[in-house]
Structure 1
Amino acid sequence: MQPMTESAIRRSFINASRSETAALHLPQDLESIDWENLDQLGWRDYKMPKRGYLLAPFEGSVVGVLLRAPDTAPPRNRRVLCALCEDIFSEDEVFLFVAKRAGAPGRNGNTVGTLIHSDFTCSRNVRAEVKPTAIHPDPDVVVKSRIEGLQARTEKFIRQVLNQ
């Protein structure tokens, strides 16, 4: 991803009102983010913990999606697969995040949900070290495939928010 300014981040949201984007709290480490190794930027609002935000490249620009976290965490004895990175090794919690749809459908209360790591660690997860195996002798190919999968699934989710 390309580095983004505070104002560009606030303007990028496709399913949030001006008042919602004005009230959002940016990641506290915005200046130190490693933008080159991100396929998406996601964070939880530290002052409004039920809110999450997801930014991702989409059709030549970066779009943001305002998300709502569930009221309760899933049971600890059950592991859930993140729908974006599909990482089977991560121990991070996965929540069902819900986004209102963009435009009139969202204003009418229509939503779409997906399972995402609670701390938005997908870009890190797909870049995790892979050991060569007989099935996958080149770890770089596996990592590249994971990154492409994350990008495609994130784009699909954004299309659902946009009703495309």
Structure 2
Amino acid sequence: MFIPYQAIMIPLVKLSNTVGMNKSIYVLVFAHIIYGIPICTLIFRNYYETIPNELIEAGRVDRASMVRIYRSIILPLSIPAFVVVVIWQFTSAWNDFLFAIFLTGGSPKLSVATTALNFLTGSPNAVYYGMNMTASLIVSIPVLIVYIFLGRYFLRGMLSGSLKG
């Protein structure tokens, strides 16, 4: 997130070749997980800062352990943050193009973005706008469905980590 994709692409491809995972879906999943950790950490950190200390103190007064406080108080309050992270990571992985091209070798079976590229660039002499728009719509439908069903949690989660008090 904080380092551009282009800056880590060559070392990542060399690492995947060294480990023997080149051109596989596993290296793509691994790259998205590792690349998403910083933004997810910041989202959760900002969200946890908004939880009132009085709730944690109330759990301590009831002699609850820190694990029990987390499981009973903090985790249920964290659902909007989890939804934000899931939507963020899903959208990032679904719309990814650069990682998919370099790490899977452009295999159309492994990424929606590379499949759409192969479909859209099928004919160099003619442009089929109808098919291009249809392919664009099909690629964007899953993201729209996720936002339709989880949009209110996404908005609540994004706003709750922005203010304290």
TM-score range, shorter chain: under 0.3
Give the TM-score of the pair, scaled to structure 1: 0.28
TM-score normalized with structure 2 length? 0.28
The structure that is helix-richer by fraction is 2
Q: Over alpha carbons, which structure has the higher Rg?
A: 2
Of structures 1 and 2, the one scoring higher in RCO (CA 8 A, sep 6+) is 2
